[in-house]
């Protein structure tokens, strides 16, 4: 399994103080920052776009893990690349031409992620795995922070991990100290956490415990 990466979801931050919130998370041990992009069409909520990524990029060099919950993900690749996104993760449900999109993202100079919603079979990404950097297995229906983790998504993580031992596998939605063991044991190594990190008394302790839990599974494998 690749190394553990903890990616606080900035959706749970105070958007009015985005740079300060980002620095706070980095200081507390975040490896990546997870940026939730929603268009009000693919999901029933609207959040941020490339201009916000561009503003944040001026304040930090951290890896910006951009999760595009949008229809027509092809449309925004160049804008996000120019804005300074590190990884562009699109939803498999949002495109009919994933291979062309993967090429477009690589050409633009970003790493590539493919996300699957809870009801989407994981087999849909199998043919793409050797072309991508990360697979995101959603553990809630995308659209909002603060939802309950869906353990029934874990067999998807498991079968992905069995087939692809070196792939970065990200889980997103409802990850906390209560659910991390289940996700880590299934084989996830990139952990997105919004509510559980931002609402914690000590985000630092939560981030380091999430990391330890993933590492303890890794040390046994």
Catalytic residue among 36, 65, 133, 168: 36
Cβ(114)–Cβ(132) under 8 Å?
Answer: yes
Using CB under 6 A as the binding rule, whether residue 65 contacts ligand DX5 is answered as no
Residue from 113, 140, 172, 213 that binds Zn ion (CB under 5 A)?
A: 172
Q: Which does 11 bind (CB under 5 to 8 A by kind): Zn ion, ligand DX5, none?
A: ligand DX5
143 labelled binding-site residue: yes
Q: How far is the CB of 8 from ligand DX5 (least distance, A)?
A: 9
* Catalytic site includes residue 39: no
Contact predicate 28/15, CB 8 Å: no
User: Cβ 212 to Zn ion, closest distance in Å?
Assistant: 23
Q: Could you say whether residue 147 binds ligand DX5 (CB under 6 A)?
A: yes
Contact (CB, 8 A) for 43 and 148: no
Nearest approach, Cβ of residue 75 and ligand DX5 (Å) = 19
What does 161 bind: ligand DX5, Zn ion, none (CB cut-off 5 to 8 Å by kind)?
none
Residue 191: strand pairing partners: 6, 171
Q: CB under 5 to 8 A by kind: which of Zn ion, ligand DX5, none does 139 bind?
A: none
- Residue closer to ligand DX5 by CB (options 29, 143) is 143
Structure tokens at 101: 């999109």
What's the closest the beta carbon of residue 198 comes to ligand DX5, in angstroms?
8
DSSP 145: S
Active site residue 205: no
- The answer for residues whose C-beta is within 8 angstroms of residue 94's C-beta and 6 or more apart is 42, 68, 70, 71, 72, 73
Cβ neighbours of residue 137 under 8 Å, at least 6 residues apart?
A: 115, 116, 122, 153, 156, 157, 160, 169, 170, 171, 172, 188
**Shortest Cβ contact with ligand DX5: which residue?**
194
**Three-class SS state of 34:** strand
Distance separating the N- and C-terminal Cα atoms of the chain: 8
Interacting residue ranges for Zn ion, rule: CB under 5 A: 36, 67, 172
- Residues within the annotated binding site? 9, 34, 36, 67, 143-146, 172, 174, 194-195
Interacting residue ranges for ligand DX5, rule: CB under 6 A: 9, 11-12, 34, 36, 67, 140, 142-147, 172-175, 192-196
């Amino acid at each position: 399994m690749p190394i553990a990466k903890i990616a606080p979801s900035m959706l749970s931050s105070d958007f009015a103080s985005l740079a300060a919130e980002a620095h706070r998370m980095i200081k507390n041990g975040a490896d990546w920052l997870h940026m939730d992009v929603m268009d009000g069409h693919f999901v029933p909520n609207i959040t941020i776009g490339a201009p916000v990524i561009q503003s944040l990029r001026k304040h930090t060099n951290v890896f910006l893990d951009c999760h595009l919950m949008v229809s027509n993900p092809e449309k925004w690749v160049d804008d996000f690349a120019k804005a300074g996104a590190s990884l562009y993760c699109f939803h498999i449900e949002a495109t009919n031409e994933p291979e062309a999109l993967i090429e477009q993202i690589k050409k633009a100079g970003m790493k590539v992620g493919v996300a699957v919603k809870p009801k989407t079979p994981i087999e849909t990404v199998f043919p793409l795995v050797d072309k991508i950097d990360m697979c995101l297995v959603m553990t809630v229906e995308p659209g909002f922070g603060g939802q309950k983790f869906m353990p029934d998504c874990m067999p998807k993580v498991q079968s992905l991990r069995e087939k692809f031992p070196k792939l970065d596998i990200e889980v997103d939605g409802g990850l906390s100290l209560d659910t991390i063991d289940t996700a880590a044991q299934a084989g996830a190594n990139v952990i997105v956490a919004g509510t559980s990190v931002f609402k914690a008394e000590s985000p630092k302790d939560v981030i380091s415990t999430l990391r330890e839990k993933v590492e303890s599974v890794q040390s046994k494998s």
